[in-house]
Amino acid sequence: QKEVEQDPGPLSVPEGAIVSLNCTYSNSAFQYFMWYRQYSRKGPELLMYTYSSGNKEDGRFTAQVDKSSKYISLFIRDSQPSDSATYLCAMSTGGYKLSFGAGTTVTVRA
Amino acid sequence: NAGVTQTPKFQVLKTGQSMTLQCAQDMNHNSMYWYRQDPGMGLRLIYYSASEGTTDKGEVPNGYNVSRLNKREFSLRLESAAPSQTSVYFCASSEPRGPNQPQHFGDGTRLSIL
């Protein structure tokens, strides 16, 4: 069993829709949770970072962490074609090592 | 503002050939990383370097060697390439002060081993 599970999709939504992405994990020691965005033929870039449980909002993006359920989510409101990318969740216990999900590919249709 | 630069961008090798993937960062970061990305597997850490002259094995180090020649450069070497090493390789760098320091990635090297 993988330490971090992420549905690879693909996910296709119309412009303006809410995109909902999620990951589950098995290691209860994870405390730091991140979402990276990766455009085609590019490297990942950090989108959101959350420590422990709770919500974090940044513009159209909201990250949620539920440590009791070992479940994290990313919501994208008012999605735009420029949001079309692969979204990777990543987690850490506090050291340098990140455990990544496989990524979910999202397409926002104009 | 280059960030993390990887060379080459694409490479095709025959089984048994050797090759070095180059990575350089201009952000004065101490920590550098090599990952491989395979479909359905996510990013997996091959090697990590906390600072110049130090390296540590990651999750999948077999078949690879690394060199941290100076603070800017971190290279990955395949001594005898195998088809299982066909992948996209990413180099990243970060400040080591905490997990909230983002890792900055290059745009990858796409490697095919025939």
Q: What is the mean pLDDT of chain B?
A: 93
pLDDT at res. A64: 96
Span B53-70, pLDDT tens digits? 899 999 999 999 999 989
DSSP state of B73: B
Closest partner residue to A100 among B39, B42, B106, by Cβ?
B42
Q: How many CB atoms lie within 10 A of CB A88?
A: 27
- According to DSSP, the β-strands at A99-100 and A71-76 are unpaired
How confident is residue B8, by pLDDT bands cut at 50, 70 and 90? very high
pLDDT at res. B42: 87
pLDDT at res. A53: 82
Contacts of residue B4 in chain A, CB cutoff 8 Å?
43
Output Rg (C-alpha) for chain B, integer angstroms: 13
How confident is residue B98, by pLDDT bands cut at 50, 70 and 90? low
Query: Is residue A82 classed as helix, strand or coil in its secondary structure?
Result: helix
Mutation test of the interface with chain B: which of A98, A99, A105, choosing the one with the most B Cβ atoms within 10 A?
Answer: A98
CA A25 – CA A10 distance, rounded (Å) = 20
Q: How many CB atoms lie within 10 A of CB B17?
A: 14
Residue holding tokens 């962490």? A65
Span A5-39, pLDDT tens digits? 998 889 999 999 999 999 999 999 999 999 999 99
**Min distance B102 CA to chain A CA atoms (Å):** 6
Q: Write out the residues of chain A at the interface with chain B, using a CB-CB cutoff of 8 A.
A: 4, 6, 8, 31-32, 34, 41-46, 49, 51, 88, 90, 92, 94-98, 100-103
C-alpha distance across the termini of chain A, in Å: 37
Amino acid (one-letter) located at B76: L
**Min distance B96 CA to chain A CA atoms (Å):** 7
Greatest CA separation for chain A? 41
Q: Write out the residues of chain B at the interface with chain A, using a CB-CB cutoff of 8 A.
A: 4, 31, 33, 39-45, 48, 50, 58, 90, 92, 94, 96, 98-100, 102-108
Contacts of residue B47 in chain A, CB cutoff 8 Å?
none
Angle (CA) B18-B21-B26 rounded to 5° is 160
**Min distance A71 CA to chain B CA atoms (Å):** 18
Number of helices followed by number of strands (H, E) in chain A: 0, 11
